[in-house]
Structure 1
Amino acid sequence: MGIQENLTHQLLIRPYQSEDLEAIVQLWYNTWHETFPHLQHPHLSTEWKRRFLDELIPLGSIWTAEIEGEIAGFMVIFKRKSFIDQLFVDRRYQSHGIGAKLLGHAKSLHPQGLRLYTLRENTRARAFYERNGFTAGKLSVNAFNGQPNVEYIWKPKQ
């Protein structure tokens, strides 16, 4: 069994639990900064935690990707908008199918379609979303970090 098959075999997609908070916020903050080392994010990690607690938990359903008790990734879906607000996989676990499993879970929860935004310069994420059936749409600016965004839309095949 290859590394990817072994990791996804061990993968558990489960709902967020309050004890996940610190690990998820650290993963989110660290992965963003590892992905964009040349960008200075306008908010400290304490603001990321506040945003997670005050905005994401009350408005979204949060799903974790867990491997052997360790959180390897997470996603936040705003159910009423069929909108993926965050999808992050720890850099150590990227390119092993975990993001695709999270997206597959989101699609199963929202078979009518989904939307999301990613930074325009995040070519790796953009290629990932396109490989997973999303199509690029309108351009905008991210309200949280001030960076240029691109919207992606997934609609099921008719």
Structure 2
Amino acid sequence: MVLRRAAVADAGDVADVWLRSYDAALPTVTRPRSDDAVRDYFRDVVVPLRETWVAEPAGGGGIVGMMVLDGATLSQLYLDPRWRGRGIGDRFVGLAKERSPEGLTLWTFQVNGPAHRFYERHGFVAVEFTDGGANEEREPDVRYVWRP
């Protein structure tokens, strides 16, 4: 598996991974944006303006995972559902810790139990629970922190 910085040309594939993963992992969470609006956001904002990383199989086959860092915030980590359980998320978290050795923070939805277990396995600790009033989805969420 190759992890690399995303190029502008990757934006559509990155958005498609995000959409497939979100829909598979969070079927009860209403997305406030259409598929096209998500694709536009990745094309115009996320890939060109954020530290966006992608995962590709070494032999090719396209993008199967994506991660976005915003300073010490791990703001997005999504894997194509067919590629979960293969260590890609572990590699992304390792990279995030290398890029932010002083610590990381992230948010995930309270209904996303698999994400809680994943991040806790990587040393993240839940430090704040909200009613979701501050996120677009209006879905209760939890903030995790990792300190070395």
How many residues end up aligned between the 2 structures? 144
The answer for the alignment partner of 1:131 in structure 2 is 121
Write out aligned runs for 1:40-119 (5 A).
40-57=30-47, 59-67=49-57, 68-69=59-60, 70-79=62-71, 82-119=72-109
Give the conservation status (yes or no) of the 8 Å contact 1:78–1:85. Answer: yes
1:62 CA displacement: 0.5
In 1, the alpha carbon distance for the partners of 2:143 and 2:119 equals: 11
In 2, the alpha carbon distance for the partners of 1:40 and 1:83 equals: 23
Give the conservation status (yes or no) of the 8 Å contact 1:16–1:64. Answer: yes
| Amino acid corresponding to residue 13 of structure 2 in structure 1 | A
Q: TM-score, normalised by structure 2?
A: 0.90
In 1, the alpha carbon distance for the partners of 2:49 and 2:70 equals: 6
Point out where structure 1 has 5 or more consecutive residues left out of the alignment.
1-10
In 1, the alpha carbon distance for the partners of 2:47 and 2:6 equals: 9
| Amino acid corresponding to residue 146 of structure 1 in structure 2 | R
* Larger deviation, residues 121-130 vs 39-48: 39-48
Identity, in percent, stands at 32
Q: TM-score, normalised by structure 1?
A: 0.85
SS at match of 1:71: coil
Which 4+ residue blocks in structure 1 deviate beyond 6 angstroms?
none
1:60 CA displacement: 2.0
Q: Which has the higher helix share?
A: 1
Q: Deviations over 1:73-130 (max 9, x none)?
A: 0100002xx1011000111110111001000001011100000001111000110000
In 1, the alpha carbon distance for the partners of 2:89 and 2:146 equals: 15
SS at match of 2:91: helix
Judged with a 3 Å threshold, the aligned counterparts in structure 2 of structure 1 residues 22 and 59 are, in CA distance, closer, same or farther, namely closer
| Amino acid corresponding to residue 139 of structure 1 in structure 2 | F
